[in-house]
Amino acid sequence: MKILKQTKLIGLVLLCTLPLIACGDTATKVIDPNDPAFEIEEFKISDYKRNPDLLRSVFRKYIPIGTHKSDVDKLIGNTDYTQQKDITNPSDLGKNIQLLAESDELQGKYNRITYYRWSFGSSGGYPVAAQGAIVFYNKSDEVLQISHLGINIF
């Protein structure tokens, strides 16, 4: 009888602690780029599904104006869930992007527009939720502007 009680107690302890152990990394992961404990090496777009403001903060801090396209690709373009496409006609992305492209800030200054689109999981092979960022580059492939969910970063 004593062994049965000990076995139940061990089972109860495991039942209570295993979920904490299994979720330990995600529960304590810092996703705020302004927090000193934030590690850019641990950056995953999927961590920002419900935090678009924090994602824009990451963009501001780690993809400032002048960042080369290869560095942008490393950070947001090379994930399992990201697609990227160069856009030749800004109006293909809607009226707001066309107006941005024609603004005094960017008109005649950008050489390339790249649309980065990522999804947050899938169901039956189709994305469940998706977001994207539109990045304007100059002739040297350096960032001029980033637009995320219709909000310009710079």
For the chain, what are the domain ranges? Answer: 1-30, 33-152
If we measure between CA atoms, which residue out of 50, 32, 51 comes closest to residue 42?
32
CA distance 82 to 23: 25
Complete DSSP assignment for 8-22: HHHHHHHHHHHHHHH
Centroid of chain to Cα 55: 6
pLDDT value of position 82: 79
39 CB burial (10 A radius; 0-12, 13-18, 19+): exposed
Distances in whole angstroms, Cα of residue 63 to Cα of each of 2, 57, 132: 62, 10, 15
Q: What is the mean pLDDT of each run of 10 residues along the chain (154 residues)?
A: 56 49 62 96 89 95 97 83 86 89 92 89 66 94 95 92
pLDDT value of position 96: 87
| Tokens matching residue 116 | 């980065």
In the block, tokens 């992305």 appear at 93
What pTM was computed for the model?
0.76
